[in-house]
Structure 1
Amino acid sequence: MTDPIPVLQLRNVWKTYASGAVQVHALRGVDLDVHAGEYVAIMGPSGSGKSTLMNIIGCLDVASAGQYVLDGEDVARMSDNDLADIRNERIGFVFQQFNLLPSQQAWRNVELPLWYARVRSAERRQRALDSLARVGLADRAHHRPNQLSGGQQQRVAIARALVTDPALILADEPTGNLDSVSTEDVLGLLDELHAAGRTIVLITHEQEVAERAQRIVRVFDGRIADLAVGAAS
Protein backbone atom coordinates (compact mmCIF):
# COMPACT_ATOMS: atom_id res chain seq x y z
CA MET A 1 0.00 0.00 0.00
CA THR A 2 1.42 3.41 -0.96
CA ASP A 3 2.20 6.16 1.49
CA PRO A 4 -0.72 8.66 1.62
CA ILE A 5 1.78 11.56 1.55
CA PRO A 6 3.22 11.89 -1.97
CA VAL A 7 6.97 11.92 -2.48
CA LEU A 8 6.31 14.27 -5.38
CA GLN A 9 3.36 16.64 -5.56
CA LEU A 10 2.67 19.23 -8.28
CA ARG A 11 -0.26 21.59 -7.92
CA ASN A 12 -1.42 23.91 -10.73
CA VAL A 13 2.12 24.16 -12.12
CA TRP A 14 2.67 26.54 -15.02
CA LYS A 15 5.84 27.20 -17.00
CA THR A 16 5.86 30.19 -19.33
CA TYR A 17 8.66 31.33 -21.61
CA ALA A 18 8.94 34.66 -23.40
CA SER A 19 9.57 34.39 -27.15
CA GLY A 20 9.88 37.99 -28.21
CA ALA A 21 6.53 39.58 -27.44
CA VAL A 22 4.83 36.17 -27.30
CA GLN A 23 4.27 34.18 -24.11
CA VAL A 24 4.71 30.44 -24.67
CA HIS A 25 3.00 28.23 -22.09
CA ALA A 26 5.06 25.02 -21.90
CA LEU A 27 3.04 23.74 -18.92
CA ARG A 28 -0.56 24.70 -18.22
CA GLY A 29 -1.82 23.95 -14.72
CA VAL A 30 -0.26 20.51 -14.20
CA ASP A 31 -1.37 18.47 -11.17
CA LEU A 32 0.54 15.27 -10.41
CA ASP A 33 1.16 13.05 -7.37
CA VAL A 34 3.75 10.28 -7.17
CA HIS A 35 3.69 8.22 -3.98
CA ALA A 36 6.51 6.38 -2.25
CA GLY A 37 7.35 3.15 -4.06
CA GLU A 38 5.52 4.05 -7.26
CA TYR A 39 6.97 3.53 -10.74
CA VAL A 40 5.56 6.14 -13.11
CA ALA A 41 6.33 6.68 -16.79
CA ILE A 42 5.81 10.10 -18.40
CA MET A 43 5.16 10.12 -22.15
CA GLY A 44 4.43 12.81 -24.69
CA PRO A 45 5.25 13.87 -28.25
CA SER A 46 7.85 16.50 -29.11
CA GLY A 47 6.69 19.91 -27.91
CA SER A 48 4.16 18.45 -25.48
CA GLY A 49 5.84 19.85 -22.36
CA LYS A 50 7.24 16.48 -21.31
CA SER A 51 10.85 17.70 -21.13
CA THR A 52 9.82 20.87 -19.29
CA LEU A 53 7.94 18.76 -16.75
CA MET A 54 11.01 16.54 -16.31
CA ASN A 55 13.22 19.58 -15.74
CA ILE A 56 10.88 20.93 -13.07
CA ILE A 57 10.56 17.55 -11.33
CA GLY A 58 14.37 17.31 -11.37
CA CYS A 59 14.80 20.86 -10.01
CA LEU A 60 16.75 21.72 -13.16
CA ASP A 61 14.20 24.49 -13.78
CA VAL A 62 11.58 26.21 -11.66
CA ALA A 63 7.88 26.71 -12.29
CA SER A 64 6.51 30.12 -13.26
CA ALA A 65 3.52 29.49 -10.99
CA GLY A 66 2.12 26.73 -8.83
CA GLN A 67 3.49 24.51 -6.09
CA TYR A 68 6.02 21.68 -6.18
CA VAL A 69 6.62 19.67 -3.00
CA LEU A 70 9.38 17.04 -3.08
CA ASP A 71 9.87 14.75 -0.10
CA GLY A 72 8.04 17.24 2.12
CA GLU A 73 10.00 20.31 0.91
CA ASP A 74 8.39 23.22 -0.97
CA VAL A 75 10.82 23.41 -3.87
CA ALA A 76 9.28 26.55 -5.37
CA ARG A 77 10.50 28.63 -2.43
CA MET A 78 14.11 27.42 -2.48
CA SER A 79 17.27 29.34 -3.32
CA ASP A 80 19.61 28.20 -6.10
CA ASN A 81 21.96 26.69 -3.51
CA ASP A 82 19.12 24.79 -1.86
CA LEU A 83 17.98 23.50 -5.25
CA ALA A 84 21.51 22.27 -5.95
CA ASP A 85 21.47 20.36 -2.65
CA ILE A 86 18.09 18.85 -3.53
CA ARG A 87 19.38 17.71 -6.92
CA ASN A 88 22.44 16.15 -5.34
CA GLU A 89 20.84 14.48 -2.33
CA ARG A 90 17.10 13.88 -2.93
CA ILE A 91 17.03 13.03 -6.65
CA GLY A 92 19.01 10.29 -8.37
CA PHE A 93 19.40 11.14 -12.05
CA VAL A 94 19.81 8.60 -14.85
CA PHE A 95 20.31 10.13 -18.30
CA GLN A 96 20.34 8.76 -21.84
CA GLN A 97 24.00 9.77 -22.31
CA PHE A 98 25.27 8.09 -19.07
CA ASN A 99 27.30 11.26 -18.19
CA LEU A 100 30.26 9.30 -16.83
CA LEU A 101 33.75 10.80 -16.51
CA PRO A 102 35.80 8.80 -19.04
CA SER A 103 39.09 9.07 -17.13
CA GLN A 104 37.64 7.83 -13.83
CA GLN A 105 37.04 4.29 -12.61
CA ALA A 106 33.45 3.17 -12.08
CA TRP A 107 33.54 3.61 -8.32
CA ARG A 108 34.97 7.11 -8.70
CA ASN A 109 32.07 8.03 -10.96
CA VAL A 110 29.60 6.61 -8.45
CA GLU A 111 31.05 8.51 -5.48
CA LEU A 112 30.71 11.95 -7.13
CA PRO A 113 27.41 12.98 -5.46
CA LEU A 114 28.93 12.09 -2.08
CA TRP A 115 32.03 14.15 -2.90
CA TYR A 116 29.81 17.17 -3.59
CA ALA A 117 28.00 16.47 -0.31
CA ARG A 118 31.41 16.53 1.49
CA VAL A 119 31.16 12.95 2.73
CA ARG A 120 34.50 11.66 4.05
CA SER A 121 36.72 9.72 1.67
CA ALA A 122 36.52 6.28 3.28
CA GLU A 123 32.73 6.43 3.55
CA ARG A 124 32.43 7.67 -0.04
CA ARG A 125 34.43 4.72 -1.34
CA GLN A 126 32.52 2.14 0.68
CA ARG A 127 29.12 3.52 -0.30
CA ALA A 128 30.17 3.66 -3.96
CA LEU A 129 31.32 0.03 -3.85
CA ASP A 130 28.11 -1.02 -2.11
CA SER A 131 26.04 0.79 -4.73
CA LEU A 132 27.92 -0.91 -7.57
CA ALA A 133 27.32 -4.26 -5.89
CA ARG A 134 23.62 -3.40 -5.74
CA VAL A 135 23.49 -3.10 -9.53
CA GLY A 136 25.57 -6.23 -10.11
CA LEU A 137 28.87 -4.55 -10.95
CA ALA A 138 31.02 -5.31 -7.91
CA ASP A 139 33.59 -6.91 -10.21
CA ARG A 140 33.73 -3.84 -12.48
CA ALA A 141 34.41 -1.21 -9.80
CA HIS A 142 37.89 -0.42 -11.11
CA HIS A 143 37.00 -0.39 -14.81
CA ARG A 144 36.78 2.87 -16.74
CA PRO A 145 33.72 3.59 -18.93
CA ASN A 146 35.49 2.59 -22.17
CA GLN A 147 36.08 -0.85 -20.65
CA LEU A 148 32.35 -1.37 -20.08
CA SER A 149 29.43 -2.14 -22.39
CA GLY A 150 26.65 0.40 -22.87
CA GLY A 151 24.40 -1.52 -20.50
CA GLN A 152 27.14 -1.69 -17.87
CA GLN A 153 27.78 2.05 -18.21
CA GLN A 154 24.10 2.71 -17.59
CA ARG A 155 24.26 0.43 -14.55
CA VAL A 156 27.14 2.56 -13.24
CA ALA A 157 24.95 5.63 -13.79
CA ILE A 158 22.13 3.95 -11.86
CA ALA A 159 24.55 3.07 -9.06
CA ARG A 160 25.54 6.75 -8.93
CA ALA A 161 21.84 7.69 -8.75
CA LEU A 162 21.35 5.31 -5.82
CA VAL A 163 24.44 6.21 -3.78
CA THR A 164 22.81 9.10 -1.87
CA ASP A 165 19.70 7.00 -1.07
CA PRO A 166 17.48 9.58 -2.81
CA ALA A 167 13.75 10.03 -2.40
CA LEU A 168 13.27 9.79 -6.17
CA ILE A 169 15.00 8.13 -9.13
CA LEU A 170 14.45 10.29 -12.24
CA ALA A 171 15.35 8.42 -15.43
CA ASP A 172 15.33 10.42 -18.68
CA GLU A 173 15.22 8.10 -21.73
CA PRO A 174 17.60 5.69 -19.93
CA THR A 175 17.49 3.11 -22.75
CA GLY A 176 17.73 5.56 -25.65
CA ASN A 177 21.36 4.71 -26.46
CA LEU A 178 21.17 0.97 -25.78
CA ASP A 179 20.67 -2.09 -27.94
CA SER A 180 17.78 -4.46 -27.24
CA VAL A 181 19.77 -6.74 -24.93
CA SER A 182 21.13 -3.84 -22.84
CA THR A 183 17.69 -2.20 -22.83
CA GLU A 184 16.15 -5.31 -21.27
CA ASP A 185 19.04 -5.45 -18.79
CA VAL A 186 18.50 -1.87 -17.61
CA LEU A 187 14.71 -2.15 -17.52
CA GLY A 188 15.06 -5.36 -15.50
CA LEU A 189 17.21 -3.48 -13.00
CA LEU A 190 14.61 -0.70 -12.73
CA ASP A 191 11.98 -3.40 -12.13
CA GLU A 192 14.15 -4.79 -9.31
CA LEU A 193 14.60 -1.35 -7.75
CA HIS A 194 10.86 -0.75 -7.91
CA ALA A 195 10.21 -4.14 -6.30
CA ALA A 196 12.64 -3.13 -3.53
CA GLY A 197 10.55 -0.03 -2.82
CA ARG A 198 12.28 2.69 -4.85
CA THR A 199 10.23 5.56 -6.24
CA ILE A 200 10.92 5.93 -9.97
CA VAL A 201 9.81 8.47 -12.57
CA LEU A 202 10.77 7.42 -16.09
CA ILE A 203 10.66 9.78 -19.08
CA THR A 204 10.31 7.95 -22.39
CA HIS A 205 8.80 8.17 -25.87
CA GLU A 206 8.68 4.38 -26.22
CA GLN A 207 5.40 2.68 -25.39
CA GLU A 208 7.02 -0.69 -24.64
CA VAL A 209 9.38 0.94 -22.15
CA ALA A 210 6.57 2.93 -20.52
CA GLU A 211 4.49 -0.19 -20.07
CA ARG A 212 7.06 -1.54 -17.59
CA ALA A 213 5.84 1.12 -15.14
CA GLN A 214 2.83 0.89 -12.85
CA ARG A 215 1.29 4.02 -14.30
CA ILE A 216 1.68 6.03 -17.49
CA VAL A 217 1.20 9.81 -17.43
CA ARG A 218 0.62 11.30 -20.88
CA VAL A 219 1.42 14.95 -21.52
CA PHE A 220 -0.10 16.91 -24.40
CA ASP A 221 -0.09 20.66 -25.05
CA GLY A 222 1.37 21.32 -21.60
CA ARG A 223 -1.36 19.42 -19.75
CA ILE A 224 -1.75 15.97 -18.27
CA ALA A 225 -3.84 14.24 -20.93
CA ASP A 226 -4.51 11.03 -19.03
CA LEU A 227 -3.26 8.75 -16.29
CA ALA A 228 -3.13 5.23 -17.71
CA VAL A 229 -2.43 2.05 -15.79
CA GLY A 230 0.78 0.36 -16.95
CA ALA A 231 1.23 -3.31 -17.67
CA ALA A 232 3.35 -3.76 -14.54
CA SER A 233 0.64 -2.67 -12.11
Structure 2
Amino acid sequence: MSGPTLIDRPAAGPGPRPGEVILQLDHVSKTYASGVLEVHALQDVSLRVARGEYVSIVGPSGSGKSTLMNIIGCLDVATAGAYLLGGTDVEQMNETQLAEVRNRQIGFVFQQFNLLPSLTALRNVELPLCYAGVRKDVRRQRARDALGRVGLADRVDHRPNELSGGQQQRVAVARALVGDPTLILADEPTGNLDSHSTADVLALLDELHASGRTIVLITHEPDVAHRAQRTIHVRDGRIFGDLEPAPGPVDG
Protein backbone atom coordinates (compact mmCIF):
# COMPACT_ATOMS: atom_id res chain seq x y z
CA MET A 1 0.00 0.00 0.00
CA SER A 2 1.47 3.32 -0.97
CA GLY A 3 1.51 6.08 1.58
CA PRO A 4 -0.72 9.16 1.35
CA THR A 5 0.24 11.60 -1.35
CA LEU A 6 0.45 15.36 -0.95
CA ILE A 7 -3.09 16.61 -0.95
CA ASP A 8 -3.95 19.70 -2.94
CA ARG A 9 -7.04 21.63 -1.96
CA PRO A 10 -9.60 21.32 -4.77
CA ALA A 11 -10.63 24.46 -6.58
CA ALA A 12 -13.67 26.06 -4.96
CA GLY A 13 -15.69 29.21 -5.07
CA PRO A 14 -15.07 32.19 -2.79
CA GLY A 15 -14.71 31.03 0.82
CA PRO A 16 -13.37 32.24 4.13
CA ARG A 17 -10.16 34.21 3.92
CA PRO A 18 -7.03 32.75 5.57
CA GLY A 19 -7.24 33.35 9.30
CA GLU A 20 -10.96 34.12 9.18
CA VAL A 21 -13.02 32.53 11.95
CA ILE A 22 -15.20 29.86 10.34
CA LEU A 23 -16.42 28.07 13.47
CA GLN A 24 -17.71 30.20 16.32
CA LEU A 25 -19.55 29.15 19.47
CA ASP A 26 -20.66 31.90 21.83
CA HIS A 27 -21.85 30.98 25.34
CA VAL A 28 -23.27 27.65 24.19
CA SER A 29 -25.02 25.44 26.72
CA LYS A 30 -26.75 22.10 26.30
CA THR A 31 -29.17 20.69 28.87
CA TYR A 32 -30.83 17.29 28.66
CA ALA A 33 -33.98 16.55 30.61
CA SER A 34 -34.17 13.14 32.29
CA GLY A 35 -37.49 12.93 34.09
CA VAL A 36 -37.42 15.61 36.75
CA LEU A 37 -33.64 15.89 36.50
CA GLU A 38 -31.64 18.14 34.21
CA VAL A 39 -28.19 17.18 32.96
CA HIS A 40 -26.01 20.14 32.02
CA ALA A 41 -23.80 18.56 29.33
CA LEU A 42 -22.28 21.88 28.22
CA GLN A 43 -22.13 25.12 30.18
CA ASP A 44 -21.34 28.52 28.69
CA VAL A 45 -18.86 27.24 26.08
CA SER A 46 -17.21 29.73 23.74
CA LEU A 47 -14.82 28.62 21.01
CA ARG A 48 -13.37 29.98 17.79
CA VAL A 49 -11.56 28.08 15.05
CA ALA A 50 -10.00 29.88 12.08
CA ARG A 51 -9.69 28.60 8.56
CA GLY A 52 -6.76 26.21 8.23
CA GLU A 53 -6.47 25.44 11.95
CA TYR A 54 -5.99 21.91 13.30
CA VAL A 55 -7.63 21.64 16.72
CA SER A 56 -8.04 18.63 18.99
CA ILE A 57 -10.68 18.29 21.70
CA VAL A 58 -9.98 15.95 24.62
CA GLY A 59 -11.65 15.16 27.92
CA PRO A 60 -12.68 12.30 30.22
CA SER A 61 -15.89 10.31 29.90
CA GLY A 62 -18.88 12.51 30.66
CA SER A 63 -16.88 15.70 30.15
CA GLY A 64 -19.15 16.99 27.39
CA LYS A 65 -16.74 16.55 24.47
CA SER A 66 -19.15 14.24 22.59
CA THR A 67 -21.97 16.74 23.06
CA LEU A 68 -19.67 19.50 21.82
CA MET A 69 -18.79 17.40 18.77
CA ASN A 70 -22.48 16.79 18.02
CA ILE A 71 -23.22 20.50 18.14
CA ILE A 72 -20.21 21.41 15.98
CA GLY A 73 -21.29 18.72 13.50
CA CYS A 74 -24.92 19.96 13.44
CA LEU A 75 -26.04 16.57 14.76
CA ASP A 76 -27.58 18.32 17.76
CA VAL A 77 -28.56 21.88 18.63
CA ALA A 78 -27.69 23.96 21.67
CA THR A 79 -30.16 24.82 24.41
CA ALA A 80 -28.69 28.31 24.68
CA GLY A 81 -26.05 30.39 22.95
CA ALA A 82 -25.09 30.85 19.31
CA TYR A 83 -23.20 28.72 16.78
CA LEU A 84 -21.98 30.18 13.48
CA LEU A 85 -20.41 27.96 10.81
CA GLY A 86 -18.88 29.86 7.92
CA GLY A 87 -20.77 32.94 9.12
CA THR A 88 -24.16 31.17 9.08
CA ASP A 89 -26.25 31.00 12.26
CA VAL A 90 -26.81 27.26 12.67
CA GLU A 91 -29.19 27.66 15.60
CA GLN A 92 -31.83 29.25 13.36
CA MET A 93 -31.97 26.33 10.91
CA ASN A 94 -34.66 23.67 10.58
CA GLU A 95 -33.91 19.95 10.17
CA THR A 96 -33.79 20.13 6.38
CA GLN A 97 -31.35 23.03 6.47
CA LEU A 98 -29.19 21.29 9.07
CA ALA A 99 -29.03 18.17 6.88
CA GLU A 100 -27.85 20.33 3.97
CA VAL A 101 -25.15 21.92 6.14
CA ARG A 102 -23.95 18.48 7.26
CA ASN A 103 -23.75 17.32 3.66
CA ARG A 104 -22.19 20.42 2.09
CA GLN A 105 -20.10 22.11 4.77
CA ILE A 106 -18.88 19.32 7.08
CA GLY A 107 -16.80 16.28 6.16
CA PHE A 108 -17.20 13.58 8.80
CA VAL A 109 -14.62 10.91 9.66
CA PHE A 110 -15.85 8.44 12.28
CA GLN A 111 -14.20 5.71 14.33
CA GLN A 112 -16.40 3.02 12.73
CA PHE A 113 -15.64 4.11 9.12
CA ASN A 114 -19.39 3.89 8.26
CA LEU A 115 -18.78 2.52 4.78
CA LEU A 116 -21.56 0.61 3.02
CA PRO A 117 -20.26 -2.97 2.62
CA SER A 118 -22.03 -3.63 -0.68
CA LEU A 119 -20.51 -0.62 -2.44
CA THR A 120 -17.02 -0.14 -3.86
CA ALA A 121 -14.67 2.48 -2.47
CA LEU A 122 -15.59 4.71 -5.41
CA ARG A 123 -19.31 4.42 -4.79
CA ASN A 124 -18.89 5.03 -1.05
CA VAL A 125 -16.97 8.24 -1.75
CA GLU A 126 -19.60 9.36 -4.26
CA LEU A 127 -22.46 9.20 -1.77
CA PRO A 128 -22.33 12.79 -0.43
CA LEU A 129 -22.37 14.08 -4.01
CA CYS A 130 -25.36 11.87 -4.82
CA TYR A 131 -27.28 13.47 -1.96
CA ALA A 132 -26.19 16.89 -3.22
CA GLY A 133 -27.59 16.16 -6.69
CA VAL A 134 -24.24 16.33 -8.51
CA ARG A 135 -24.31 14.93 -12.04
CA LYS A 136 -23.08 11.32 -12.29
CA ASP A 137 -20.05 11.91 -14.50
CA VAL A 138 -18.92 14.86 -12.37
CA ARG A 139 -19.30 13.05 -9.05
CA ARG A 140 -17.56 9.94 -10.43
CA GLN A 141 -14.50 11.99 -11.42
CA ARG A 142 -14.45 13.89 -8.14
CA ALA A 143 -14.62 10.62 -6.21
CA ARG A 144 -11.70 9.21 -8.23
CA ASP A 145 -9.72 12.38 -7.58
CA ALA A 146 -10.44 12.20 -3.82
CA LEU A 147 -9.33 8.56 -3.63
CA GLY A 148 -6.19 9.48 -5.53
CA ARG A 149 -5.43 12.21 -3.00
CA VAL A 150 -5.47 9.70 -0.14
CA GLY A 151 -3.28 7.23 -2.00
CA LEU A 152 -6.00 4.77 -3.04
CA ALA A 153 -6.19 5.30 -6.81
CA ASP A 154 -5.58 1.57 -7.24
CA ARG A 155 -8.38 0.55 -4.85
CA VAL A 156 -11.39 2.32 -6.37
CA ASP A 157 -13.19 -0.94 -7.24
CA HIS A 158 -12.52 -2.68 -3.94
CA ARG A 159 -15.28 -3.20 -1.39
CA PRO A 160 -14.66 -2.51 2.32
CA ASN A 161 -14.05 -6.20 3.16
CA GLU A 162 -11.24 -6.19 0.59
CA LEU A 163 -9.45 -3.31 2.32
CA SER A 164 -7.41 -3.07 5.52
CA GLY A 165 -8.67 -0.98 8.43
CA GLY A 166 -6.29 1.82 7.53
CA GLN A 167 -7.41 1.74 3.90
CA GLN A 168 -11.07 1.85 4.95
CA GLN A 169 -10.40 4.90 7.07
CA ARG A 170 -8.64 6.55 4.14
CA VAL A 171 -11.75 5.87 2.02
CA ALA A 172 -13.73 7.60 4.78
CA VAL A 173 -11.34 10.56 4.62
CA ALA A 174 -11.77 10.71 0.83
CA ARG A 175 -15.55 10.72 1.32
CA ALA A 176 -15.17 13.60 3.79
CA LEU A 177 -13.08 15.55 1.27
CA VAL A 178 -15.10 14.97 -1.88
CA GLY A 179 -17.59 17.77 -1.27
CA ASP A 180 -14.84 20.32 -0.46
CA PRO A 181 -16.31 21.04 3.00
CA THR A 182 -15.63 24.05 5.18
CA LEU A 183 -14.67 21.77 8.06
CA ILE A 184 -13.38 18.22 8.56
CA LEU A 185 -14.71 16.78 11.81
CA ALA A 186 -12.88 13.61 12.88
CA ASP A 187 -14.37 11.66 15.79
CA GLU A 188 -11.84 9.16 17.24
CA PRO A 189 -10.56 8.41 13.71
CA THR A 190 -7.80 6.09 14.95
CA GLY A 191 -9.85 4.29 17.60
CA ASN A 192 -10.21 1.05 15.61
CA LEU A 193 -6.76 1.01 13.99
CA ASP A 194 -3.49 -0.72 14.78
CA SER A 195 -0.36 1.36 15.35
CA HIS A 196 0.78 1.21 11.70
CA SER A 197 -2.62 2.27 10.33
CA THR A 198 -2.92 4.95 13.05
CA ALA A 199 0.38 6.48 11.92
CA ASP A 200 -0.82 6.35 8.31
CA VAL A 201 -4.11 8.15 9.03
CA LEU A 202 -2.44 10.75 11.27
CA ALA A 203 0.10 11.47 8.53
CA LEU A 204 -2.81 11.98 6.16
CA LEU A 205 -4.48 14.44 8.56
CA ASP A 206 -1.15 16.26 8.88
CA GLU A 207 -1.01 16.63 5.09
CA LEU A 208 -4.61 17.83 4.98
CA HIS A 209 -3.75 20.49 7.53
CA ALA A 210 -0.60 21.47 5.62
CA SER A 211 -2.70 21.92 2.48
CA GLY A 212 -5.00 24.39 4.25
CA ARG A 213 -7.85 22.22 5.49
CA THR A 214 -9.61 23.07 8.76
CA ILE A 215 -9.71 20.05 11.08
CA VAL A 216 -11.38 19.48 14.44
CA LEU A 217 -10.31 16.16 15.97
CA ILE A 218 -12.08 14.48 18.89
CA THR A 219 -9.87 11.97 20.70
CA HIS A 220 -9.11 10.39 24.07
CA GLU A 221 -5.53 9.59 23.07
CA PRO A 222 -2.95 12.19 24.17
CA ASP A 223 -0.45 11.19 21.48
CA VAL A 224 -3.10 11.74 18.81
CA ALA A 225 -4.19 15.06 20.31
CA HIS A 226 -0.60 16.33 20.25
CA ARG A 227 -0.62 16.21 16.44
CA ALA A 228 -2.96 19.21 16.36
CA GLN A 229 -1.87 22.86 16.52
CA ARG A 230 -3.73 23.35 19.77
CA THR A 231 -5.72 21.24 22.20
CA ILE A 232 -9.01 22.16 23.84
CA HIS A 233 -9.56 20.41 27.15
CA VAL A 234 -13.19 19.81 28.17
CA ARG A 235 -14.20 18.95 31.73
CA ASP A 236 -17.58 19.08 33.49
CA GLY A 237 -19.17 20.64 30.41
CA ARG A 238 -16.74 23.54 30.26
CA ILE A 239 -13.71 24.45 28.18
CA PHE A 240 -10.48 25.02 30.07
CA GLY A 241 -8.51 26.92 27.47
CA ASP A 242 -5.99 25.63 24.97
CA LEU A 243 -4.32 23.09 27.22
CA GLU A 244 -1.82 20.35 26.55
CA PRO A 245 -3.34 16.86 26.80
CA ALA A 246 -3.05 15.35 30.26
CA PRO A 247 -0.27 12.76 30.62
CA GLY A 248 -1.31 9.13 30.41
CA PRO A 249 -4.57 7.60 29.12
CA VAL A 250 -7.72 9.70 29.13
CA ASP A 251 -10.99 7.80 29.48
CA GLY A 252 -13.16 8.68 26.49
Q: TM-score range by the shorter chain?
A: over 0.9
Aligned pairs, number:
229
Task: Tell me which of 145, 161, 178 is aligned to 2:160.
Answer: 145
- Relative to the length of structure 1, the TM-score reads 0.97
- 1:56-102 CA distances to partner (integer Å, 9 max, x unpaired)? 00000000010000011100000110000000010000000000000
Gaps of 5+ in 1: none
- 1:141-175 CA distances to partner (integer Å, 9 max, x unpaired)? 00000110000000000000000000000000000
Distance 1:82 1:118 in 2: 15
Conserved in 1, the CA contact under 8 Å of 2:19 and 2:52?
no
Task: Tell me which of 101, 107, 116 is aligned to 1:101.
Answer: 116
Distance 1:226 1:218 in 2: 7
RMSD, aligned α-carbons:
1.1
Matched letter for residue 84 of structure 1: A
- Relative to the length of structure 2, the TM-score reads 0.89
Task: Tell me which of 134, 152, 177 is aligned to 2:149.
Answer: 134
Gaps of 5+ in 2: 1-16, 246-252
* Aligned equivalent of 2:20: 5
Distance 1:62 1:115 in 2: 26
Distance 1:4 1:170 in 2: 18
Distance 2:119 2:196 in 1: 26
- Compute the displacement of 1:228 (Å): 2.5
Distance 2:18 2:25 in 1: 16
Matched letter for residue 106 of structure 1: A
- Taking the TM superposition and a 5 Å limit, the aligned residue runs for 1:216-231 are 216-228=231-243
- 1:13-42 CA distances to partner (integer Å, 9 max, x unpaired)? 000000111111100000000000000000
Conserved in 2, the CA contact under 8 Å of 1:218 and 1:226?
yes
Write out the 4+ residue segments of structure 1 that deviate beyond 2 Å after TM superposition: 2-5
Task: Tell me which of 175, 178, 190 is aligned to 2:205.
Answer: 190
